[in-house]
Amino acid sequence: MKPVIESVDAISKLEHLSGVKIRPGENPYDALIQICNDHPQFLSADFKELIVDPVLFRLERPSVQPGFRDPRHCLVVWARPPEHILKLASHLQTLLQKAAPNLWLMPTHRMHMTTLELAHSQTSDEIASLLSSIRPAIPLLTNLTFLHRVRLVRPMISYDLSAIAVSFVPAAEEHDGYTYHHLRRDLFEAVKKTGVEVRSRYVVPSAHITLGRFLDQEDHATPLARQSWIRGIEEINEWLETQVWDAVDGEFMGEWIVGQEKGLEVRDGTLWYGGGRTIMAGEGF
């Protein structure tokens, strides 16, 4: 009998950070918009261990379970970062790896922001059935950024016991107040009209790109190592705030207009670590 591999998202207690209670059938992004009118994890005295992703661990270290393949198929809408954001993300990874050399890093060509997760942890046949249902709406889904230009600003490093990301703040345009969460709301509604129920794992009020995940405990085994890790993140965030947030022509810039260079992508397959396949990609601007 094969061992059951529990998803890291089922283990992590920090998986749902929004604090928003969603009623059955309610659009979660409406709730986030309406409510818009730190836990010392690593330094806690009762710190036990990091949460190592068991699937990624087996994929990256195949000797643990030879022949293992990720069984979790998903259906999503992704936003791809433009070149200047990829440059920033790659630099942040370099800084993070100085504090944690064994950190697993997301390859830059796989970096993405999950704008809407329609379904997760299903079989390929189940995803194929959902894909068939939403197919007529896919051109609209991938090109919504042509109707609305939404900005993400103020990148900061965020983290929990399983992963590290660069998170952005959704900015509202003065003329219409339309934000990234309004875009997500409209994607949700467009999918809902096809008759497909959106079944995301959770809803968070941030927009983030995963930079890395933990594969073992080695880099954070002692209180001193964990203090160094937190200090390193604080220094990176201070650099972002003072040198990147308001930069216009600097080496690194933190503002991202979603759809810039690359339109939204509808993708399916084993997507957890940037994999899967693109069903359709919208036109960038």
CATH number at residue 86: 3.90.1140.10
Residue 260 domain flag: yes
Tokens 């709406």, located at residue: 137
Its domain, for residue 248, covers 46-281
What's the domain count of the chain?
Answer: 1
Residue 229 domain flag: yes
Residue 2 domain flag: no
Length of the chain: 285
Tokens 């080695």, located at residue: 218
- The predicted-structure confidence for 102-112, as pLDDT tens digits, reads as follows 999 999 999 99
Neighbour tally for 145: CB within 10 Å: 22
Residue 20 domain flag: no
Residue 41 domain flag: no
212: confidence class by pLDDT, cuts 50, 70, 90:
very high
Residue 221 domain flag: yes
- The predicted-structure confidence for 78-131, as pLDDT tens digits, reads as follows 999 999 999 999 999 999 999 999 999 999 999 999 999 999 999 999 999 999
Residue 219 domain flag: yes
Query: Which residues have CB under 8 Å from 3's CB, separation 6+?
Result: none
The predicted model scores a pTM of: 0.86
Residue 19 domain flag: no
pLDDT at 39: 47
